[in-house]
Amino acid sequence: MEYKDVLDTMTGEYNNLTKSGRKAADYIFAHRVEAQYMSITALAEECGVAEATISRFCRTLGFSGYNDFKLALAKASGAPAADDEVGIYGKVLPEDSITDMCKKLYATNVAAIGQTLAQIDEENVGRAVKYLSAAQRVYCFGQGGSLVIAMEAWARFITAAPQFQCIEDSHMQAMAAALSTPDDVILFFSYSGATKDMLDVLRPARRRGAKIILVTHFAKSPAAAMANVTLLCGSKEGPLQSGSVAAKMGLLFIIDVLFNEYCRTNPALTEANREATAGAISAKLL
């Protein structure tokens, strides 16, 4: 199916949809921009239907699944697919000067951090740091662009705490989760909170009793349902913006919050470890 036809297809198939399917279509017609940024769980709740209904709705329209449908919606006429418009600057345009482009990107990234700050929950941060402090091992996991963030979390924490590890391969992540214990913590980064590889890791970790700290944009997602603590990042990211820097800014801010609170909670240990790691690196400097 051509992506540009999705709205016309919804109109043409409307009378053939089930009652629940028409509820989904009605909501999407009225909120097609917002729907681009929703997880399947969030959309189902807004429509007042089951997630399975959304999946059937997408297949009825000829799509392989929900993500394929969201991509089509983003590309459809009347559904903006450019970067978020932020403040007085708006989206980046071909005719912009480099200075104008820089101002717009700056505004977008600052807004992402501001949105993340507004969603910081002190109780959840405290619980997360409590789990991290008590853990025998902390696995920093993610996939795709989120793996880069997981590696950044590991790189930040390894300066102060030796129990932090990062495994890049998704198969190895699943195996580590399958052997995890109640003394372990999975620190998982996933903007959507709804990927198959992620669930392949979190399900065995949950069965083994490991604590799960999820950093995501969506409070209502399959991963959030399995997490012991969920920390929310700001910045809307559409299906055509996967891996956007603005979304990463929000995730990096949360890493910094967790790291600094971890150091405040364990001052003697982290100070000694940071001095040791700094000394090890100083010898490598010219």
Q: Residue 274 has which token pair?
A: 């940071």
- Which one, of 34, 38, 65, 2, lies nearest residue 191 by Cα? 38
Is residue 232 within 8 Å of 247, Cβ to Cβ?
no
Interval 95-114: pLDDT, tens: 999 999 999 899 989 999 99
Q: Residue 241 has which token pair?
A: 């913006």
pLDDT recorded at residue 85: 43
Per run of 10 residues, the mean pLDDT along the chain (length 286 residues) is 68 90 91 78 89 92 88 66 46 90 91 94 98 98 94 97 96 97 97 87 97 92 92 73 80 97 96 94 84
pLDDT recorded at residue 91: 77
- C-alpha separations of 260 from 64, 90, 228, 248, 266 in Å: 43, 33, 21, 18, 10
Q: Is the pTM of this model over 0.85?
A: no
Is residue 165 within 8 Å of 140, Cβ to Cβ?
yes
pLDDT recorded at residue 138: 98
pLDDT recorded at residue 39: 78
Angle, CA of 241, 174 and 192, to the nearest 5°: 25
Domains annotated for the chain, with CATH where assigned, are 3-75 (1.10.10.10), 120-282 (3.40.50.10490)
CA 177 to chain centre: 20
Element (H, E) at 206: helix 196-208
pLDDT recorded at residue 81: 41
